[in-house]
Amino acid sequence: MNLGRTVFAQVMAHAPTYEFKRCVSRYSGDSRHRGFSCWDQFLCLSFAQLTYRESLGDIQACLRSVQGKLYHMGFRGRVSKSTLADANEAHDWRIYAEFAQVLIAIARPLYSNESLGFDLDGTVYALDSTTIDLCLSVFPWAHFQSSKGAVKMHTLLDLRGSIPTFIEVTDGKLADVRILDEIVPEAGSFYVMDRAYLDFERLQVFQSKGAFFVTRTKSNVLLRRRCSREVNFSTGLISDHTVVFKTTESLKHYPTPLRRIRYNDVDQHQTLVFLTNNFDLPALTIAQLYKARWKVELFFKWIKQHLRIKAFYGNSENAVKAQIWTAIAVYVLVAIVKKRVPLEASLFQILQVLSVTLFEKTPILRAFDDTGCIPESTSNPKQLSLLDL
């Protein structure tokens, strides 16, 4: 069925075009496309992500070099710097944001049985943000500091498969804790976050919805111990207490008891103090849950290394957000392809092979026949191999 189709066309075939058209229609994206549609823009930006293109001129030169193949790769408009630049300014970034959510909804069930590395049923999310630095003179809308621009990408990551489920791109000044207001807690799910999200009035919402959270406490949080549970000191656990707030003001925001667990992290040479509203899991599992939060940190480092979200093809807020959301869509699309084909290679290897085979007319499985003989470490010893999906 893939005879005569380029590898790029085979990858993009896993993107539901009907759903994409619905996203376009919702924001009237093609009402004035002048021969270069939202789908053409998505294909161009996806190609740029997969092949690490540096600029609009770079994209134009590469695609025009294979002009005869573009129609069969799905392109209908004429690819040029000007048309792509106009599209980046005119086509609403929310089209690509909503389409990325469509792909996320497809990808999550494919990874629902992935192991967390420890015994726990249910969904586990890690919440964090990363700052993408911008030059304030080039991106004057992205105020962060007096002489510096930035945007923040707030991400809720499903740790089974490292699939982002919620992403919000905001200005760099927005406090991380305010993102809790945008998240709808799922009953029975676990939300793991660092101390930047320690706001007990907001965390009470998670408690009231039947969701569990695991976070670290701060030294100025005053707690009173109610009771203690035995712990196995050989595992690194120090204590496991049920606690309540000492102050009336704190009790007003969070009136129910919490669980405080102290753990000695031998690797980091420090004592960590966790707070959670879950009283059923073993104390060591709570510590392991927080340790798994680092997957979201690795996710940020990984996409910054392997996708184009640090250098941008346009200077407007719309262009920057469209590119970030397209990068997320491409990431999730490749994760879908990995499961559907299926491919044994890691996500890093898949992206490397795709970058040099997109124009080949070969079944996608055949393109990966020899990937096992190319170790990831040969490319750059500093590159992360987070998602061995």
Alpha carbon of residue 125 to chain centroid:
11
DSSP annotation string for 42-64: HHHHHHHHHHT--SHHHHHHHHH
pLDDT at site 386: 46
Question: What values do phi and psi take at 40, rounded to 5?
Answer: -60, -45
Domain that holds residue 355: 7-97+315-378
pLDDT at site 243: 97
Domain presence at residue 64: yes
pLDDT at site 380: 46
pLDDT at site 3: 56
Number of folded domains that form the chain: 2
pLDDT at site 389: 40
Neighbouring residues of 297: CB distance < 8 A, sequence distance ≥ 6: 128
pLDDT at site 347: 83
Domain presence at residue 124: no
Q: Assess whether 22 and 71 both reside in one domain.
A: yes
Instruction: List the chain residues with pLDDT less than 70.
Output: 1-3, 32-34, 370-389
Domain presence at residue 129: no
Torsion of CA 190, 129, 176, 191, to 10 degrees: 0
Domain presence at residue 62: yes
Place of tokens 């300014």: 89
Domain presence at residue 351: yes
Alpha carbon of residue 34 to chain centroid:
33
Helix (H) or strand (E) holding 243: strand 237-245
